[in-house]
Amino acid sequence: MRLTQSVAAVAACVQLGYALDLDVTSPDSIRTAASTLAHGLMNYYQNNKTDTPKESIGTLPWPLYWWEAGAVWGGLIDYWAYTNDTSFNDVVMQAMMAQTGTDNNFLPEAYYSSMGNDDQAFWTFSALSALEYGFPDPPEGSPSWQTLAVNAFDSMAPRWDTATCGGGLRWQVFSTNNGWTYKNSVSNGGFFQMAARLARFTGNSTYYDWAERIWDWTTATGLIDESYRIYDGASTTDNCQEVQQLQWTYNPGIFIYGTAMLYNYTNGSSVWETRLTGLIEQVDQTFFQAEENATNVMVEAACEPYGTCNNDQFSFKAYLARFLAKAMVVAPYTRTAILPLLTTSAQGAAKSCSGPSDGVTCGQKWYTEFDGNYGIGQELSALEVTQALLIDEAPGLMDHNDVKIKPATTSSTLKPTVSIGPASVSGITSTSATATGAATSATTAAPSSTSTAGSVQSGVPHMNVLLGGALIGAAALL
């Protein structure tokens, strides 16, 4: 993901006197609000016209990048699952099939040379959601959702780089791209979540082995610290000795859902429960208590208060909302901690959706009325946090045996976290949970990993970087 031009603010606009109508206690009201937001989101999409070049079908207008289109289609697959509204299914299908690439792994030729591992992961997330929710099958002769997800994973696994930093994926796929020397949390988190979801769906323990390996490396390098803060990334030029400490909402969102999947896959392992609980508690502190007038309202803390978010970052809250909601399904004990955060945030988002010219265009800040800052990222974020309240309406998550996980409407509270213990990058050690899925063959075997009864904490020093308007994370530098 790269730095984009900011969407122009409309400070001179005439504020309309109404906002998105949302009663969070009424599924019908939530569905209506989600429909309004989904239609508003699709008003931005133009690349399905008859004269659209083939390589542009399914993508978003400049200055938005390829990865975000994949995220949009994932949001609309969830919209279908949560509302049973098929209005956008044909558009989603056309878009997803247009970007599969020659090898059916979301590496299309037009975007291949500029590909980031995180970019490919976001399209794969969408294929996995289609697979898990039973979205209509692709047309005859097209790859299945499972084929796309597995092929994408298999294309990423050989990129695991042990020559620097003891492992990890680089941000960029090719050495000619800016960002090649950066190993970031979103790329490794994306790979982690893909592994976790494929482990649960297929029952293949090799995916679980990969997920463990990725978690171990991420914590050992300090990208996830002892308090479960998730930082942006680290450079290979110093062997990942200094971690860029900016925190973005989408990183913990991605890891939370992967961790919740592994909690489910291991039949409630206390190891994954501790990790999941720690991530959720840290997210609450960092992103839902960031502003005095925004208690329990999600804030993109690294840029939103300072007005420095770029187009990529405008959409980041969407993914934290999406994956928090999904985590409640596969780890029901998290519901009492997560649902109030999503509910308050959805209420705030609805109030912010009062912009021109329809009176329901959404702004960025969810603790004020429309702030004049609008676009695809803001609209997607509002849609995601709103439709998250419909998670109980979704079909059960399927696996390869068509076993479905339905949302649980009651659960216990989060248990207290415990600190994770020390380990070094060169000799990664971790707490290992026993995988319960049936092992089947996999194309790419995970590297071997030594696991012991201790958990992981980085022994790597961190940069003392303060959050502020003058700072831009490495995910936004290029």
Q: Which has the higher per-residue pLDDT, 445 or 3?
A: 445
What pLDDT score does 19 carry? Answer: 86
Residue 459 located in a structural domain:
yes
- 319 with 336: CB under 8 angstroms? no
Question: Binning pLDDT at 50, 70 and 90, where does residue 188 land?
Answer: very high
Q: Is pLDDT at 257 greater than 90 in this prediction?
A: yes
Q: How many domains does the chain have?
A: 1
Q: Side chain identity at 98, as an amino acid letter?
A: A
Q: Is pLDDT at 364 greater than 70 in this prediction?
A: yes
pTM: 0.85
Question: Binning pLDDT at 50, 70 and 90, where does residue 17 land?
Answer: very low
Please give the full DSSP string across 166-212, using - where no structure is assigned.
TS---SBSSTTSTTTTEEEHHHHHHHHHHHHHHHHHH--HHHHHHHH
Q: At what angle do helices 250-265 and 185-202 cross, to 10 degrees?
A: 30
Angle at the Cα of 253 from the Cα atoms of 160 and 295, rounded to 5 degrees: 150
Question: Binning pLDDT at 50, 70 and 90, where does residue 435 land?
Answer: very low
66-75, 313-322, 351-360, 450-459: which has the minimum mean pLDDT?
Answer: 450-459
10: phi then psi, degrees, rounded to nearest 5: -115, 60
Q: The domain containing residue 105 runs over which residues?
A: 31-476
In this prediction, what percent of the chain has a pLDDT beyond 90?
Answer: 78
Angle at the Cα of 94 from the Cα atoms of 89 and 98, rounded to 5 degrees: 150
Look at residues 270, 207, 269, 213 and name the one whose alpha carbon lies nearest to residue 399. 207
Q: Counting Cβ atoms within 10 Å, is residue 323 exposed (0-12), middle (13-18) or buried (19+)?
A: buried
Residue 11 located in a structural domain:
no
Question: Binning pLDDT at 50, 70 and 90, where does residue 403 land?
Answer: confident
- What are the pLDDT digits (tens) for 20-37? 999 999 999 999 999 999
Alpha carbons 69 and 74: distance in angstroms, whole number? 9
What pLDDT score does 101 carry? Answer: 98
- Average pLDDT over the chain reads 86
Residue 9 located in a structural domain:
no
What pLDDT score does 433 carry? Answer: 39
Beta strands in 377-436 (DSSP E): none
In this prediction, what percent of the chain has a pLDDT beyond 70?
Answer: 81
Residue 256 located in a structural domain:
yes
- 397 with 330: CB under 8 angstroms? yes
What pLDDT score does 454 carry? Answer: 30
What does the pLDDT average to over 45-65? Answer: 95
Question: Binning pLDDT at 50, 70 and 90, where does residue 404 land?
Answer: confident
- Calculate the CA 230 to chain-centre distance: 13
Residue 58 located in a structural domain:
yes
Q: Counting Cβ atoms within 10 Å, is residue 395 exposed (0-12), middle (13-18) or buried (19+)?
A: middle
What are 6's two structure tokens? Answer: 């900011």
Q: Side chain identity at 470, as an amino acid letter?
A: A
Residues 6+ apart with CB under 8 A from 416: 277
Residues 6+ apart with CB under 8 A from 265: 196, 199, 200, 208, 435, 436, 437
Please give the full DSSP string across 71-106, using - where no structure is assigned.
HHHHHHHHHHHHH---TTHHHHHHHHHHTSTTTTSS
What does the pLDDT average to over 452-472? Answer: 30
Look at residues 302, 286, 323, 307 and name the one whose alpha carbon lies nearest to residue 368. 307
What does the pLDDT average to over 168-192? Answer: 99
Residue 374 located in a structural domain:
yes
DSSP-derived letter for residue 397 is: B
Question: Binning pLDDT at 50, 70 and 90, where does residue 160 land?
Answer: very high
What pLDDT score does 475 carry? Answer: 38
What pLDDT score does 415 carry? Answer: 56
- What are the pLDDT digits (tens) for 259-279? 999 999 999 999 999 999 999
Which residue stretches of 117-165 are H helix?
Answer: 117-133, 145-156
**Residue 395: CATH number of its domain:** 1.50.10.20
Residue 462 located in a structural domain:
yes
CB atoms within 10 A of CB 138: 18
What pLDDT score does 357 carry? Answer: 75
- What are the pLDDT digits (tens) for 137-151? 999 999 999 999 999
Q: Side chain identity at 356, as an amino acid letter?
A: P
Cis peptide, bond prior to residue 412, ω within 30 of zero: no
- 222 with 232: CB under 8 angstroms? no
- What are the pLDDT digits (tens) for 78-117? 999 999 999 999 999 999 999 999 999 999 999 999 999 9
What are 195's two structure tokens? Answer: 């592994």
Residue 1 located in a structural domain:
no
- 359's torsion region: left (phi>0), alpha (psi -120 to 50) or beta? left
Q: Which has the higher per-residue pLDDT, 427 or 65?
A: 65
Q: Is pLDDT at 54 greater than 80 in this prediction?
A: yes
Strand order in the sheet with 243-244: 182-184, 233-235, 243-244
What pLDDT score does 293 carry? Answer: 87
What are 417's two structure tokens? Answer: 């976290």
Please name the helix (run of DSSP H) or strand (run of DSSP E) that holds residue 234, with its range, or none.
strand 233-235
Q: Is pLDDT at 10 greater than 70 in this prediction?
A: no
What are 254's two structure tokens? Answer: 């991605």
What does the pLDDT average to over 321-348? Answer: 98
- 384 with 320: CB under 8 angstroms? no
